[in-house]
Structure 1
Amino acid sequence: MDRSLSAAEWESGAAAFPRQFALTRRFALGTVRNLSVPGDGTRVLFVRTGDGADPVSRLWLWEDGAERELAGPGTLGAAPSGPGSEPERAARERTREQAVGVTDYAADSAGSLVAFTVGGALWAVRTAGGPPFRVPVEGPVTDPRPSPDGTLIAYVREGTLCVVSPAGPDQHHRPGDADGESALGARELAVPEGPGVTYGLTDHVAAESMGRLRGHWWAPDGSALLVARVDTARVARRWLSDPAHPERPPRAIPYPAAGTANAEVTLHLVRLDGTRTEVDTRRTGFEYVATARWDGWGPLVTVQSRDQRTVLTLAADPADGSTEVLDMCEDEHWVELVPGTPCRTESGALVRTSDEGDTRRLTVAGTAVTPPGLQVQAVLGTDGEAVWFSAVQDPTVEHVWRWSPGAAPEQVSRADGVHGAAVGRGTVVLDGLTPRGQRVTVLRAGRAAGGVDAVAEEPALPPEPLFLTLGERGLRAALYLPSWCRPGTAPPRSLPVLLNPYSGPGMRLVVRARHWASCVSRWFAEQGFAVLVTDGRGTPGRGPAWEKAVRGDQLTPVLEDQRDALRAAAVARPFLDLDRVAIRGWSFSGTLAAAAVLRHPDVFHAAVAGAGPSEQRLYDTHWKERFLGHPDQEPGNYDSSSLIQDAPLLRRPLLLIHGTDDDNVAFAHTLRLSAALLAAGRDHSVLPLPGASHLVRDEAAAEQLLPFQARFLKDALAR
């Protein structure tokens, strides 16, 4: 615990924290994001806001040890705004983007031309110098991407894939009458055949559950594009409206709930003359286009079966669209889609991961090249024949590693934390979240060449957790105590306990890094709780068996781990008051919190459940069927992991919180659970957040949410 702060400073920090947390968007503002290393590796592109409380994001260039702003409020000639189209709004929601302005971009292969959107308008800037310039095309524009040589920009407008030649600030497009051209010089390459069809965009489950955020990829020579065609005609619609504004019309979104029809996704080779050829990806039972890219060896695609137990890697012929199966991966539970895989080295060697024994190993050309016990988390890129990846040995730390032929894997990052990287020709940009915040270091030829500054605010309450290993399963946990508890001594009175986990798939909270969730746990500790955070079964970083222990039942083993961690922590720390135990969570952990008081009221005495899926059949196909199977084939799994039938069991205080405009976990989850609780005569509280999505962006609501929860939990445990 940071003893450099006085008691008064701790008290002041606790009072200031909720406001700071809201203003900084969970300390996201001022962080360095979307790093890339185009061209020869001498340049680094990234986005970052002006400071830790500035919500306007800018595009930046790092070169020769210095940063230069390429595009921001002073150069765009207009106040940056939010999303300009429904696809852009959806993309912001999928990436949990909290800033406005230049939040995403794409560059040509040399890093000379960068394209981006602001408020649905298409902009570009040349990194050699000069101001950003607006490319005059009809909007709203989504996902602009320059061709490798920078002579064209591909983008999507209302589901139509278009290309345009970028003009400089002193050039203007002239209206033309040429066939296929608009008055502004853009050409339409792929036009939707009807409602519900788009070209060049992703679909909901690919973006939310598979991590595929893109829908078009240029050929290396710029002659054609690999384009996703998405047809949502069979997908059920959900209608989202804001009850606080009944004058506004609802909006429809195609949402494939578990057991229902998915979008039909096909890939097409679209040439610049508008002709196209479908890529042969259709195989019986393989509904998901999981990944796609186009490298020097041609289009590379993976498709996944509906039951997610088989993934095929396909090489496509760019001439006729025919495909060859390069690799097949199978698993009795599910094949994990590891970020960055598959890809190929410069010689064409296929890079992917393979679950062997209880280790997720890196394989190159079919051979495992990492040792047992080193859990690969993502492939970060290739440079020649070298492969850069992130991996875990200790679940509380994640490092960047490098493998090259004839050599053992080498750990590159050193400091404690969670590290990733952007890779280019001879350049690696290490992006580390450390105990002191974000640290970004540029390495050239293996040597430090400078850094990129993060300007996020320092938290008013610096988290200083005590890391623990608990119980027979070696559960990794972090314990946060109030500032007035001296290290190594028992506090003068017993402390109520607050469990503050996520403990779900895809995320670890018990890491040796300062992240927003650790800051929140620190704040709750300052409210007088002993806060215990535990990563149980189902979380990443401890091997395939640990991750897949939740197959068929997402709640029982996870709840068991939370109970075991609580009891084990209290054995060595008897000041933890097991007669006053609360639990809180959001999303998956919102479900976990509600399940805790419903199913184990003898252990958990109060809960705050935010935006939790209470009826698992309402969640999307890919994510939910991964863990519970198809609801028509394994209905018992959905019953055991849903909460509606547990409503009559409630006898502890429960607060449900949910945004009314949540397109990820629908507000219906909370409404149905509340209705079931009411029907069973069980008292509970509901806090709706009008207009809020899965991420609460409104500053006033975000500022008040933490104190509201703290008051509820204190009152509940005092009863």
Structure 2
Amino acid sequence: MTTESESFPRRHARTQRFTLGAPRSFTVAPDGSRVAFLRSGSGTDRANSLWVLDTATGTERVAADPRALLGGAEERLSPEERARRERSREGGAGIVGYAVDAAAELASFALSGRLFTAGLRSGEARALRTPGPVIDPRPAPDGRHVAYVARGALRVVGADGEGDRALAEPEGEGVTWGLAEFVAAEEMGRPRGFWWAPDSERLLVARVDDTPVRRWWISDPADPGSAPRQVAYPAAGTPNAEVRLFLAGLDGTRLEVLWDRARYPYLARVHWSAAGAPLLLVQARDQRSQLFLAVDTGTGATRMVHADEDPIWLELFPGVPCWSPSGRLVRIADEGGARVLAVGERPLTGAQLHVRAVLDVSDDDVLVTASAGEGAAVPETGEVHVYRVNELGVERVSEEPGVHSAVRSGDVTVLVSATPDRPGARVRVLRGGRTVAVVASHAENPGLSPRVTFTEGGARRIPCAVLMPSDHRGDALLPVLLDPYGGPHGQRVVAAHNAHLTSQWFADQGFAVVVADGRGTPGRSPAWEKAIRDDVAAIALQDQVDALRALAGEFPLDLDRVAIRGWSFGGYLAALAALRRPDVFHAAVVGAPVTDLRLYDTHYEERYLGLPDAQPEVYRRNSVIDDAGLVDAAGPHRPMMIVHGLADDNVVVAHSLRLSSALLAAGRPHEVLPLSGVTHMTPQESVAENLLLLQVDFLKRSLGLGGTQTGPA
């Protein structure tokens, strides 16, 4: 339980950024009678329960309580489940994911490596006796069976707990059935590895062989008695896992699905519905061509439904490809300079909308999320809205400025709305456009309101958020802290209250905080995202500089005292800023940076820079370090604090160690903060809290601002 005397960093850490207690992972029953979702009991409770809301009465009830199901025992996770949660950045506990049958009558989930089911109408939850540890259990559409993965095998069990058996088992070390490989889960947005047929008699199952992938070792130097952990990591330019796809019948039959895997090795999407044949999206390794394939379930052969090519790269999107109920292909495409929704061969949107995801497809329309496109009459900086799209036009579902998403089935829609002036997100259940219920949130109020101005900076109209101290009055110049992510798939300038809490806390320590989404970040246009091809470092850094200088004409920014902080791509950007533009930046907090781009994964890095062997100069130019040591940079040496989790298996600590070695060889002073036992996330409460406090102390020391203050609680 928190108290009013606790600092913001402590409360921010304890509540996992004020996300605990908020409802999430919604499912609407096809008949519209109920909505299933996950939610923990309070703003400091990590253990999610499975809940059901009755849309007729608005009442909520618990369908599955993890503490009751485990009898109070401590939850234990397998290494495979820990890795799966790391890929999805899941920091919660209890029931962190679930799947339902077609009628949303039966839910299944894994808890402490065991398989459980819950009747969403009856409210009865039970454990099924199966081999473990269980990963990703999913009921068949008819609710008679549950498929799951255990020890690399795809297994199936009756919903009554009888008849457990393996449908596919590993033939050797390094082979798994029914799991997503590393790059699919980390970069493609495909966390799954098996898909039920609509008739519940067969499944499509991915067979992953990662024996070609190079092995790395993740150790814990703080525990020298523990053996290093081996991971298969496909670094840029090295072999990927071999992924094949099979049709597996409940009767034990198995048939391989065939396509040109040599030309299109990436299995990016799988869709199987009653509206058509199984649909695959496969990509070439260079991600400049892709095929939409329909599967003949009798022979395993595939036929091309559509093909895309792009001279730069092809992006992947949530919810597509899929079939409409009438059997037309639904996809998102970059056409005519815009990101559009296409049904069949016809685009249904234009330059006014930048389509981001498909949420639902019905006989009448397609439900999407989108931002204002380059052709919009009025810019809506940081906003994301829900729209209904059909051949007659486009209708906005969400109204108030903010970031919105939705889940829909039939005439019932769950609309999730985060706005700049309200903490957290409001969740409304709509029937025919009218609110029939509101899903309660138990998330804590942060007790902090961002003083944020959304604007655009420079000739390129870079989206920016500027945060001033809560008590700042007048025109006195303030030291500046840039707080970006600044790269692909990481929009930070969003019109939502809680997204800017940490930036506001830094502002209340005496900074003017600037968040800028330069070229390469999502949400604006295909050209904006793809401008960084082969030149990520220079373009991303230049846009931060341009935004800073442009905003100095509108806000009281002291350009003689400028710092930058960031994590992951943001850490990479912070390192670049301190080394390459010391004329602009005077200190940097460099968190979990990718410094040698050859040490990051294939699907991500090759999309932006190609293959290292084919373009070695491109990799050298974009890396913070190279084989010769530190990239040459003129000017003064700016202080850097390098922070990295030693257990990180995504951006391995070698990135920071190589940067530190290069800085030492070049005689450049710096600080290194190793985080023992910490991965790419920082979920540990004390680590997350003190990391914020140490950053403030470093920034104030480096800019000559005196000692640390923790700011308001």
TM-score range, shorter chain: over 0.9
From 440, 445, 448, the equivalent of 2:432 is 445
Residues 106 and 143 in structure 2, CA contact (< 8 A), matched pair in contact too: yes
Comparing 409-418 with 151-160, which one deviates more in the overlay?
409-418
Residues 48 and 59 in structure 1, CA contact (< 8 A), matched pair in contact too: yes
From 592, 597, 613, the equivalent of 2:573 is 592
Q: What is aligned with 2:228? A: 250
- One-letter code aligned to 1:706: L
| C-alpha distance in structure 2 between counterparts of 1:479 and 1:351, whole Å | 38
Residues 381 and 455 in structure 2, CA contact (< 8 A), matched pair in contact too: no
From 680, 703, 715, the equivalent of 2:666 is 680
Residues 266 and 281 in structure 1, CA contact (< 8 A), matched pair in contact too: no
From 543, 550, 554, the equivalent of 1:572 is 554
CA distance change for structure 1 residues 82 and 337 in 2, over 3 Å: closer, same or farther? Answer: farther
| C-alpha distance in structure 2 between counterparts of 1:275 and 1:352, whole Å | 32
Q: What is aligned with 2:47? A: 56
CA distance change for structure 1 residues 81 and 358 in 2, over 3 Å: closer, same or farther? Answer: farther
Identity among equivalent positions (%) equals 49
From 455, 458, 464, the equivalent of 2:442 is 455
Q: What is aligned with 2:412? A: 427
From 492, 503, 518, the equivalent of 1:509 is 492
- One-letter code aligned to 1:199: W
Q: What's the CA shift string for 1:194-214, capped at 9, x where partnerless?
A: 110000000000010000010
Q: What is aligned with 1:291? A: 269
Q: What is the aligned length? A: 686
| C-alpha distance in structure 2 between counterparts of 1:87 and 1:149, whole Å | 28
1:304-343 alignment runs, 5 A limit: 304-343=283-322
Residue 471 in structure 1 maps to residue 458 in structure 2: yes
1:343-492 alignment runs, 5 A limit: 343-393=322-372, 394-404=380-390, 406-435=391-420, 436=422, 437-486=424-473, 489-491=474-476
1:34-183 alignment runs, 5 A limit: 34-64=25-55, 65-79=58-72, 81-82=74-75, 84-167=77-160, 173=162
- One-letter code aligned to 1:209: E
| C-alpha distance in structure 2 between counterparts of 1:663 and 1:677, whole Å | 23
Q: What is aligned with 2:248? A: 270
CA-based RMSD: 1.6
Residue 498 in structure 1 maps to residue 478 in structure 2: no
| C-alpha distance in structure 2 between counterparts of 1:80 and 1:604, whole Å | 51
Q: Secondary structure at the match of 2:235?
A: coil
Q: What's the CA shift string for 1:367-410, capped at 9, x where partnerless?
A: 00012231001111212342111001034100001113x42011
Q: What is aligned with 1:203? A: 181
Q: What's the CA shift string for 1:590-643, capped at 9, x where partnerless?
A: 000010010000100000010010000000000010111111111122111101
From 237, 242, 253, the equivalent of 2:215 is 237
1:542-553 alignment runs, 5 A limit: 542-553=524-535
CA distance change for structure 1 residues 80 and 257 in 2, over 3 Å: closer, same or farther? Answer: farther
- One-letter code aligned to 2:317: V
Q: Secondary structure at the match of 2:536?
A: coil
Q: Secondary structure at the match of 2:272?
A: strand
| TM-score between the two structures when normalised by the length of structure 2 | 0.94
Q: What is aligned with 1:603? A: 584
Comparing 627-636 with 206-215, which one deviates more in the overlay?
627-636
Residue 640 in structure 1 maps to residue 627 in structure 2: no
| TM-score between the two structures when normalised by the length of structure 1 | 0.93
From 595, 600, 612, the equivalent of 1:619 is 600
List structure 1 runs of 4+ shifted beyond 6 angstroms. Answer: 12-15
Residues 138 and 148 in structure 2, CA contact (< 8 A), matched pair in contact too: yes
| C-alpha distance in structure 2 between counterparts of 1:670 and 1:469, whole Å | 33
Comparing 343-352 with 380-389, which one deviates more in the overlay?
380-389
Gapped regions of structure 2 (runs ≥ 5): 373-379, 706-713
Compute the displacement of 1:15 (Å): 6.5
CA distance change for structure 1 residues 288 and 81 in 2, over 3 Å: closer, same or farther? Answer: farther
Q: Secondary structure at the match of 2:132?
A: coil
Comparing 245-254 with 312-321, which one deviates more in the overlay?
245-254
Compute the displacement of 1:81 (Å): 4.9
Compute the displacement of 1:91 (Å): 1.5
Residues 14 and 685 in structure 2, CA contact (< 8 A), matched pair in contact too: yes
Compute the displacement of 1:661 (Å): 0.6
Residues 537 and 557 in structure 1, CA contact (< 8 A), matched pair in contact too: yes
Gapped regions of structure 1 (runs ≥ 5): 1-11, 174-184
CA distance change for structure 1 residues 15 and 84 in 2, over 3 Å: closer, same or farther? Answer: closer
- One-letter code aligned to 1:667: V
Q: What is aligned with 1:690? A: 676
CA distance change for structure 1 residues 42 and 503 in 2, over 3 Å: closer, same or farther? Answer: same
Compute the displacement of 1:648 (Å): 5.6
Residue 223 in structure 1 maps to residue 185 in structure 2: no
| C-alpha distance in structure 1 between counterparts of 2:230 and 2:251, whole Å | 34
| C-alpha distance in structure 1 between counterparts of 2:395 and 2:697, whole Å | 49
Q: What is aligned with 2:164? A: 186
- One-letter code aligned to 2:403: V
Residues 38 and 96 in structure 2, CA contact (< 8 A), matched pair in contact too: yes
| C-alpha distance in structure 2 between counterparts of 1:288 and 1:498, whole Å | 40
